Amino acid sequence: MSHPDPARPHEHEEVEKSKVRTAHAEHVEPEKGPHAPKEINPKMSSDIHYWAKEFGVTGDQLHEAIRVHGTHVEKVRAALSHHK
Protein backbone atom coordinates (compact mmCIF):
# COMPACT_ATOMS: atom_id res chain seq x y z
CA MET A 1 0.00 0.00 0.00
CA SER A 2 1.46 3.35 -0.97
CA HIS A 3 1.56 6.40 1.26
CA PRO A 4 -0.77 9.26 0.40
CA ASP A 5 0.73 12.23 -1.39
CA PRO A 6 1.28 14.91 1.32
CA ALA A 7 0.75 17.68 -1.22
CA ARG A 8 -2.73 16.38 -1.99
CA PRO A 9 -5.42 16.92 0.69
CA HIS A 10 -7.45 13.98 1.86
CA GLU A 11 -10.74 13.40 0.12
CA HIS A 12 -12.84 14.21 3.21
CA GLU A 13 -11.06 17.56 3.59
CA GLU A 14 -12.02 18.47 0.03
CA VAL A 15 -15.63 17.57 0.74
CA GLU A 16 -15.64 19.66 3.94
CA LYS A 17 -14.19 22.67 2.12
CA SER A 18 -16.77 22.39 -0.63
CA LYS A 19 -19.71 22.59 1.77
CA VAL A 20 -21.16 26.05 2.00
CA ARG A 21 -22.27 26.80 5.52
CA THR A 22 -25.11 29.22 6.02
CA ALA A 23 -26.76 30.32 9.20
CA HIS A 24 -29.87 28.39 10.10
CA ALA A 25 -33.15 30.24 10.34
CA GLU A 26 -34.20 30.85 13.91
CA HIS A 27 -36.60 28.17 15.10
CA VAL A 28 -39.77 29.80 16.36
CA GLU A 29 -42.18 27.52 18.15
CA PRO A 30 -45.75 28.38 17.20
CA GLU A 31 -47.99 29.31 20.10
CA LYS A 32 -49.68 26.14 21.20
CA GLY A 33 -53.22 26.34 22.38
CA PRO A 34 -54.72 24.40 25.24
CA HIS A 35 -55.57 20.73 24.96
CA ALA A 36 -59.27 21.58 25.38
CA PRO A 37 -60.66 25.12 25.13
CA LYS A 38 -62.96 24.88 28.18
CA GLU A 39 -61.10 22.54 30.53
CA ILE A 40 -57.62 22.76 32.03
CA ASN A 41 -55.78 19.47 32.37
CA PRO A 42 -53.51 19.98 35.38
CA LYS A 43 -51.48 16.88 34.43
CA MET A 44 -50.43 18.40 31.10
CA SER A 45 -47.53 20.81 31.46
CA SER A 46 -48.51 22.44 28.15
CA ASP A 47 -51.96 23.28 29.55
CA ILE A 48 -50.48 24.68 32.77
CA HIS A 49 -47.97 26.75 30.82
CA TYR A 50 -50.63 28.06 28.41
CA TRP A 51 -53.27 28.92 31.01
CA ALA A 52 -50.79 30.39 33.52
CA LYS A 53 -49.58 32.73 30.78
CA GLU A 54 -53.16 33.46 29.70
CA PHE A 55 -54.22 34.36 33.26
CA GLY A 56 -50.96 36.11 34.17
CA VAL A 57 -50.20 33.84 37.13
CA THR A 58 -47.58 31.28 38.09
CA GLY A 59 -48.06 27.57 37.59
CA ASP A 60 -48.38 27.14 41.36
CA GLN A 61 -51.10 29.77 41.56
CA LEU A 62 -52.94 28.07 38.71
CA HIS A 63 -52.65 24.66 40.37
CA GLU A 64 -54.07 26.09 43.59
CA ALA A 65 -57.00 27.69 41.75
CA ILE A 66 -57.70 24.38 40.00
CA ARG A 67 -57.54 22.53 43.32
CA VAL A 68 -60.09 24.88 44.87
CA HIS A 69 -62.35 25.69 41.92
CA GLY A 70 -62.01 22.75 39.52
CA THR A 71 -60.74 22.57 35.98
CA HIS A 72 -63.39 24.57 34.11
CA VAL A 73 -61.65 27.53 32.45
CA GLU A 74 -64.32 30.13 33.29
CA LYS A 75 -64.43 29.15 36.99
CA VAL A 76 -60.63 29.35 37.22
CA ARG A 77 -60.61 32.64 35.29
CA ALA A 78 -63.19 34.14 37.67
CA ALA A 79 -61.30 32.93 40.72
CA LEU A 80 -57.99 34.30 39.51
CA SER A 81 -59.45 37.65 38.43
CA HIS A 82 -60.37 38.33 42.06
CA HIS A 83 -56.74 37.92 43.09
CA LYS A 84 -55.39 40.64 40.82
Q: Is the pTM of this model over 0.95?
A: no
Q: How many CA atoms lie within 13 A of 58 on its CB side?
A: 3
Query: What pLDDT shows up at residue 66?
Result: 97
Give the pLDDT confidence of 36-75 residue by residue, as tens digits. Answer: 999 999 999 999 999 999 999 999 999 999 999 999 999 9
40 phi, psi to nearest 5 deg: -100, 125
How large is the C-alpha radius of gyration of the chain?
27
CA-to-CA distance for 73 and 76, rounded, in angstroms?
A: 5
3-class secondary-structure state, position 72: strand
